[in-house]
A and B are shown apart, each in its own frame.
Chain A
Amino acid sequence: EVQLVESGGTLIQPGGSLTLSCAASGFTVSSKYMSWIRQAPGKGLEWVSIMYRDDRTFYATSVLGRFTISRDNSRNTLYLQMNSLTAEDTALYYCVRGEMANNVDHWGQGTLVTVSS
C-alpha cells in the first residue's frame, strides 16, 4: 500500500527556515515523480516543487531561490527545505507522488506551516 507521511510543519517566525519531510512506503521515491503542493487556509492548491526520477528539480516562481526539494533514497524520504519564509508561505503542505511528470496519483495527509510573529 502506498503511504506518504509528512512531518516538520510548525509555527515559525517570518524570515525563518524549516525543513519538511515525507516518509514514503509501498514504493521507492527514486522511481516516481515526487512533488510538494500547498494549500493556504481556505484557499486553492498551488504546486510548489517537483523532483523528477532523473534528479531534475523545478520550482514555482513564488518559491524559486528560497525552497529546495531533495530526497534521501536510503531513507525513502522526500524533503522540502524552506528559507526566508513569509506569511504568504503559510499553508498545508502536501507530499505527493506521480507516476508521470506533472501529475499526482497519491497524496499525503499534509503538514501545516504557519509563518507568523
Chain B
Amino acid sequence: DVLMTQSPLSLPVTLGQPASISCRSSQSLVHSDGNNYLSWFQQRPGQSPRRLIYKVSTRDSGVPDRFSGSGSGTDFTLKISRVEAEDVGIYYCMQGTYWPTFGPGTKVDIK
C-alpha cells in the first residue's frame, strides 16, 4: 500500500495566523488520467471527518476559501491562510490513486 506521511503531527497555531501541513506519499500519485487523487479531510473533535479538498486543490462546496491545497507527484500541502477557532481538529491527507490510504493526521489546536 502507498504510505502517506504528514508533518508536523501537532500544530499549535495562533488565531489569525497562517498554518501549513505537509503530506508526502511513498509513490507518485499521478494517475494514468493525469490527475493527482489527493484529498484533505478535517475531523473536528467528536465529529465524523469532512472532506475539504479533492484532486489536490479543488475545494468542496461550503469550504471557506482560507483553505487551499497544492502539490503534485509525492509532495502536497494544505494551507490555512488565517486560522479561526473552528479550524481546531485533526487534518488527514488521503490518496485515491491506488488502494486508498490516509496519512496519520495532524492535530491543529490554538496556542
Contact = CB atoms under 8 A, between A and B. Distances in A.
B36 to A, nearest CB: 12
Contacts of B98: 102
B76 interface: no
Sorting the interface of chain A by its residue count into under 10, 10 to 19, 20 to 34 or 35 or more gives 10 to 19
Tell me the dominant secondary structure on chain A's binding face: loop
B99 A107 contact: no
Interface stretch (A7-15, A44-52, A77-85): A44-52
A14 to B, nearest CB: 25
Interface string B74-96: 00000000000000000010101
A44 B48 contact: no
Q: Taking chain B's interface residues, is the majority helix, strand, or loop, or is none over half, making it mixed?
A: loop
A58 interface: yes
Given A107-B49, A107-B50, A44 B99 contact: no
Nearest to A59: B99
A22 to B, nearest CB: 13
Nearest to B31: A102
Contact of A103 (B54, B92, B99, B102): B54
A103 B94 CA distance: 9
The 4 A-B pairs with the shortest beta carbon distances in the complex, nearest first, are A102-B96, A107-B48, A45-B102, A47-B100
19 contacts: A44-B102, A45-B41, A45-B94, A46-B102, A47-B99, A47-B100, A47-B102, A50-B100, A58-B99, A60-B99, A94-B48, A103-B37, A103-B51, A103-B96, A104-B39, A104-B41, A107-B49, A109-B48, A110-B48
Interface of B: 1, 37, 39, 41, 48-51, 54, 60, 92, 94, 96-105
Given A104-B41, A104-B51, 16 more contacts: A44-B92, A45-B41, A45-B92, A47-B99, A47-B100, A50-B100, A94-B48, A94-B49, A101-B96, A102-B100, A103-B37, A103-B51, A103-B54, A103-B100, A107-B48, A107-B49
